[in-house]
Chain A
Amino acid sequence: MTDTQLLDLLASRPNRALKLLSQRYSPLVMAVAGRVLPGRQMDLEEIAADVLVKIWQKREEINPQTLRGFVITTARNLAIDRYRLLRRQNEVPLFDQDQEAGEFLEDQVLTQVLAEQIKAMSPPDGEIFLRHHLLLETAAEIGAHFGLTEAAVRARLHRMRIQLRKEVPR
């Protein structure tokens, strides 16, 4: 069943559609959210359920062609919201990524201007940025993906953050 058919099914048989959507996307949600909240199984399950509810709420607005992108972005945002809440309650440690990346991740809102800046980056910088800040992959993982050293990825990310902080209004 295609994503278009699944979104249509939400209107007529929501429980059946939720089950199928969960089978397709909950592993992805838990992978993305699990990088922000490692080991917090209940939180991850709740975020996975919340993403399904968000899909149901926005079923008429979502473009089926980019449903996967909606899932990744929503999972990432919900996980960071949950992380902020838990950190206020001192229930989770700070990000184990470098401090600069953690602060950037928390502060940065996914605006249209930022999206345009990323699109304008020369390859593979845009994808490196997205893998780090949206999929929350580590510099080492990204390095392995692109055949770069971890240090080279960190250096690129650092340069990109400086550039974006200059050019993207907050």
Chain B
Amino acid sequence: MNEWYELVNDLETKTNEPDELTAKRIERNAAAALPKRRSRLKIALIAAAILLLTACGVTTLRFADWFGTLTNPQDPAASEDLLSSLGTVLAQTQTVDGVTMTLHGALYDGETFLLSLSVEGLEETRYSSSVDPGASWLYSSRAEWERGAEKAGIETSYYDQLIQSGMFTVNISRQFDMDRCLLLIRPVMMPKEGQEVVLHLEDLQVMGQTVSGPFTFTFTPEKKTVEQTYNCDVQLTAMSGEAYTVTQVVITPLEIRVQICGQLDSSGSPPENTPCIEDIRTAEGADSWAYGSGSWIQNGGDGTWVGRLTYGTLERILDPASVTAVKIDDTWLELHDGN
């Protein structure tokens, strides 16, 4: 092929720069397809550790592998610690028509719910980062739902209609080779603590192949929280000029949440420009941990409003203790114990 590379190397053609999001998706897809880099020494140490743990009867947790896209590549061991402190091992496997699905584990802290699932035994695949869930759903288990429905006097046959609302998004987080990949599932439904749920997978489109299944996993995600909370009373001014107060900053490994409140103006409206978390600073310096943020504001009664700002797009897990400041609009809010 080298002759061809020489032949076409100098041919100029018109190109257009992809937009920022497209460029980011390309880089992320390419990076996800690369094998994780481990030195021989690390492999030997891992093998030795597995042998040691097996000999001691201890199960090795691999949350950093299951939720690899969240792992901080600079410090995978710390990420493993954080992820395992939020995670629950589910370890359920089913095989249908030669395709094996393994539900590895869940991350669930009451605000974020993620599942790691691997698919093996695919045929005639092609590389594709997007997955169509098909007729799949995630919802409360029938037994759990009917118990509540009977108490509330609701017709139990509604269950079969309601499960259709149990949607989730799913992405390939890692492709091992052409017949095996790891999926990251983010359900829309946020279970209550101790609620039994069912993940039903049917007609899933993975890497160009339809996986008919069905596969049904029943489990109860365990709620675990790791967070750093700062209560405060800091006055700030919105971009549109209205004063408001920051009352609390909560930092979890997956998200930053800031509680704010203020007085409605004379027309009964909250700030025209809702404040926004723009950036964070860690002990190591400025951090581009996430590039998206959200907010909501509602009436707080007695002429006030309350709101919550969020920051974090599940790009990478973060040690809550490492965050030293949060930037809201143009203002850096320094975080100290007692502030």
Residues of B within 8 A of A27 (CB): 15-18
C-alpha spacing A137/B15, complex, angstroms: 12
Q: Is the CB–CB distance between A49 and B33 below 8 Å?
A: yes
User: Which of these, A22, A67, A110, A135, contacts B26 with CB under 8 Å?
Assistant: A22
Residues of A within 8 A of B157 (CB): none
Residues of A within 8 A of B33 (CB): 49-50, 53
* Nearest B residue to A113, CB-CB: B3
Q: Is the CB–CB distance between B1 and A110 below 8 Å?
A: yes
A-B contact count (CB 8 A): 120
Most A-side CB within 10 Å, residue of B17, B26, B27: B26
At the interface, yes or no: B143 with Cβ under 8 Å from chain A? Answer: no
- Min Cβ gap A35→B in Å is 9
Q: Is the CB–CB distance between A45 and B13 below 8 Å?
A: no
Q: Is the CB–CB distance between B9 and A65 below 8 Å?
A: yes
At the interface, yes or no: A163 with Cβ under 8 Å from chain B? Answer: no
Per-position contact with A for B1-17: 1 when CB-CB < 8 Å, else 0?
A: 11111111111011111
Q: Is the CB–CB distance between B128 and A19 below 8 Å?
A: no
At the interface, yes or no: A140 with Cβ under 8 Å from chain B? Answer: no
Q: Is the CB–CB distance between A66 and B26 below 8 Å?
A: no
At the interface, yes or no: B91 with Cβ under 8 Å from chain A? Answer: no
Q: Is the CB–CB distance between A127 and B11 below 8 Å?
A: yes
- Min Cβ gap B71→A in Å is 12
Residues of B within 8 A of A32 (CB): 13
At the interface, yes or no: A15 with Cβ under 8 Å from chain B? Answer: yes
Residues of B within 8 A of A52 (CB): 26-27, 30
- Min Cβ gap B131→A in Å is 12
Q: Is the CB–CB distance between B34 and A130 below 8 Å?
A: no
Contacts A14-B37, A66-B9, A73-B8: A31 and B31 contacting too (C-beta < 8 A)?
A: no
Q: Is the CB–CB distance between B8 and A45 below 8 Å?
A: no
* Nearest B residue to A47, CB-CB: B127
User: Which of these, A28, A42, A137, contacts B130 with CB under 8 Å?
Assistant: A42
Residues of A20-60 contacting chain B, CB below 8 A: 22-23, 26-28, 30-32, 41-42, 45-46, 48-50, 52-53, 56
* Nearest A residue to B6, CB-CB: A66
C-alpha spacing A32/B16, complex, angstroms: 11
C-alpha spacing A138/B31, complex, angstroms: 34
Contacts A42-B130, A53-B34: A115 and B7 contacting too (C-beta < 8 A)?
A: yes
Contact-size category for B: 35 or more
Q: Is the CB–CB distance between A18 and B126 below 8 Å?
A: no
Q: Is the CB–CB distance between A22 and B130 below 8 Å?
A: no
Q: Is the CB–CB distance between A48 and B15 below 8 Å?
A: no
User: Which of these, A31, A41, A42, A115, contacts B14 with CB under 8 Å?
Assistant: A31
Q: Is the CB–CB distance between A46 and B9 below 8 Å?
A: no
C-alpha spacing A52/B14, complex, angstroms: 20
* Nearest B residue to A133, CB-CB: B8
Contacts A73-B5, A115-B4: A48 and B34 contacting too (C-beta < 8 A)?
A: no
Residues of B within 8 A of A134 (CB): 4, 7-8, 11
At the interface, yes or no: B58 with Cβ under 8 Å from chain A? Answer: no
- Min Cβ gap A168→B in Å is 13
C-alpha spacing A66/B23, complex, angstroms: 23
Q: Is the CB–CB distance between B1 and A73 below 8 Å?
A: yes
At the interface, yes or no: A102 with Cβ under 8 Å from chain B? Answer: no
C-alpha spacing A45/B3, complex, angstroms: 27
Residues of A within 8 A of B208 (CB): 85
Q: Is the CB–CB distance between B29 and A46 below 8 Å?
A: yes
Q: Given A22-B23, A49-B33, output 7 extra A-B contacts at Cβ < 8 Å.
A: A27-B17, A31-B13, A66-B6, A73-B5, A115-B7, A131-B11, A135-B11
Residues of B in contact with A (beta carbons under 8 Å apart): 1-11, 13-18, 22-23, 25-27, 29-31, 33-34, 37, 73, 126-130, 208
Closest 8 CB pairs between A and B?
A69-B5, A69-B9, A49-B29, A115-B3, A66-B5, A52-B30, A27-B15, A49-B30
